[in-house]
């Protein structure tokens, strides 16, 4: 029982991070059918921007409290969101009509650029996050669930709820859903397609950045390569839930987090990535539409 609860709690936190990143993948894929390989690096960028902002205001020991941390989180999300829009403008928009291979290769170039740019800017070593979160928590069936874990899951849930409302209740959300259906028709209806695509990148990037800052504070260290593996896993989560589907990405992320934590317990830590990637290949073979995905045509 103790193990079960602990696995559930740890898995939920990791799963929340996966969900936030997977949302960006799935939104961008839904709207322009692009696998944004650089998306994991936006998570890394978020962790580093948060790191710099927190260092600037003096770290966790200045007694700025929860409010200060939330301001930093929001500021990071805005900065990285703008970076995401910039990437779309410079690297992806000119290639929207080019062969698919071109835009995929460009995305890899952007990923290389972000990783190595971060390495030059912040150094190649692991950096210790200037914020130490408390390890205090409540005891449930012998397992410890920290207040930090509860807080992180709550913030993630709030972000996802906000996104859900935005997509389903606002005009821009409606435009996004419409573009995912038929880009040309939207253009004819007077929707500024490029603006909406830019907005999608902004939201996707800022969600990933939020996950990055939270993960930096949760794990305590950040590194310029931290986005690579987690980007791949978040993609796995997006595919698991059904790529293109927003509730699917949320569900997929949580499921992957839980499965991975359980897998670590069963097979040991060095095998957890193998478990996640094998899962990815298995899903693609057995049910490429994922849990909540719509039936997609094979080619477009």
Partner 1 sequence: MNGYRKKLPVVLLLLVAAILPFLANNYWLDVATLALFYIVLAQGLNVVVGFAGLLDLGYAAFFAVGAYTTGILMTVYGWSFWLTLPVSIALAAVVGVIIGAPTLRLRSDYLAIVTLGFGEIIRLLAINLSITGSASGIYGIPRPSIGSYVLAGQLDFYYLILVIAILAVLAVKRLGTSRIGRAWMYIREDEDAAEAMGINRINMKLLAYSIGAVIGSLAGSVFAVKMSAIAPLSFSFTQSIMILLAVVLGGLGSIPGVVLGAVLVITLPELLRSVEDWRYLIFGIALVAMMLFRPQGLWPARYDAGQAASGETEAALSGRGDDDVNVDAEKCNA
**Residue 115 touches partner 1, criterion: CB under 8 A:** yes
**Residue 17 touches partner 1, criterion: CB under 8 A:** no
- Minimal CA–CA distance to 44: which of 95, 111, 96? 111
Rg (CA), the chain: 19
Instruction: Spell out the alpha helix ranges (H) of the chain.
Output: 2-32, 39-56, 65-87, 100-122, 147-169, 171-181, 183-188, 193-219, 226-241, 246-267, 272-286
The residue within the footprint of partner 1, chosen from 183, 236, 245, 264 (CB under 8 A), is 236
Do 7 and 262 contact (CB within 8 A), yes or no?
A: yes
Give min distance, CB of 69 to partner 1, in A: 31
Instruction: With CB under 8 A as the rule, give the number of residues binding partner 1.
Output: 49
Q: Which 3 state secondary structure label does DSSP give 34?
A: coil
Give min distance, CB of 44 to partner 1, in A: 14
The residue within the footprint of partner 1, chosen from 126, 172, 219, 277 (CB under 8 A), is 277
Give min distance, CB of 194 to partner 1, in A: 17
Tokens of 36: 């944004």
**Residue 168 touches partner 1, criterion: CB under 8 A:** no
User: Of the two residues 211 and 243, which places its CB atom closer to partner 1 in the complex?
Assistant: 243
The residue within the footprint of partner 1, chosen from 3, 281, 287, 294 (CB under 8 A), is 281
97-to-92, 93, 242 alpha-carbon distances in Å: 10, 9, 25
Give the Cβ contact number of residue 28 at 10 Å. 26
User: Of the two residues 108 and 154, which places its CB atom closer to partner 1 in the complex?
Assistant: 108
User: Of the two residues 75 and 95, which places its CB atom closer to partner 1 in the complex?
Assistant: 95
The residue within the footprint of partner 1, chosen from 4, 56, 70, 105 (CB under 8 A), is 105
Rounded to the nearest 10 degrees, how much is the dihedral formed by the CA atoms of 56, 62, 65, 67? -30
Do 270 and 225 contact (CB within 8 A), yes or no?
A: no
Give min distance, CB of 107 to partner 1, in A: 9
Residues 26-85 that bind partner 1 (CB under 8 A): 33-35
Tokens of 201: 């990148």
**Residue 270 touches partner 1, criterion: CB under 8 A:** yes
Give min distance, CB of 152 to partner 1, in A: 26
Q: What letter would DSSP give residue 129?
A: P
**Residue 88 touches partner 1, criterion: CB under 8 A:** no
User: Of the two residues 138 and 281, which places its CB atom closer to partner 1 in the complex?
Assistant: 281
92-to-98, 104, 241 alpha-carbon distances in Å: 10, 9, 25
Interacting residues toward partner 1 by CB under 8 A: 33-35, 90-91, 94-95, 98-106, 108-117, 119-120, 228-229, 232, 235-236, 239, 270-271, 273-274, 277-278, 280-281, 284-285, 288, 296, 298-300
């Amino acid at each position: 029982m103790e193990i079960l609860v602990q696995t559930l709690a740890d898995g939920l936190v990791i799963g929340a991070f996966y969900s936030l990143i997977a949302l960006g993948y799935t939104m961008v894929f839904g709207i322009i059918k692009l696998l944004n390989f650089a998306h994991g690096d936006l998570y890394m960028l978020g962790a580093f921007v948060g790191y710099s902002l927190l260092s600037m205001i003096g770290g966790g020991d200045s007694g700025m409290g929860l409010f200060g941390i939330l301001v930093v989180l929001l500021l990071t999300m805005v900065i990285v969101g703008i970076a995401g829009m910039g990437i779309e403008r410079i690297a992806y928009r000119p290639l929207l009509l080019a062969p698919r291979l071109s835009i995929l290769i460009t995305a890899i170039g952007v990923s290389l650029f972000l990783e190595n740019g971060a390495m030059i800017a912040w150094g190649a070593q692991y950096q210790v996050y200037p914020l130490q979160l408390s390890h205090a928590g409540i005891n449930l069936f012998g397992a410890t669930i920290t207040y930090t874990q509860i807080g992180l899951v709550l913030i993630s849930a709030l972000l996802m709820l906000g996104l859900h409302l935005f997509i389903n209740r606002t005009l821009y959300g409606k435009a996004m859903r419409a573009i995912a259906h038929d880009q040309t028709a939207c253009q004819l209806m007077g929707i500024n397609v490029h603006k909406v695509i830019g907005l999608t990148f902004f939201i996707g990037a800022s969600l990933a950045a939020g996950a990055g800052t939270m993960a930096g504070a949760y794990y305590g260290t950040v590194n310029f390569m931290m986005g690579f593996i987690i980007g791949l896993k978040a993609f796995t989560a997006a595919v698991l839930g059904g790529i293109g589907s927003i509730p699917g990405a949320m569900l997929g992320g949580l499921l992957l987090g839980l499965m991975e934590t359980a897998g670590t317990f069963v097979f040991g830590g060095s095998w957890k990535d193998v478990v996640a990637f094998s899962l990815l290949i298995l899903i693609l073979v057995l049910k490429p539409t994922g849990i909540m995905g719509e039936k997609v045509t094979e080619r477009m």
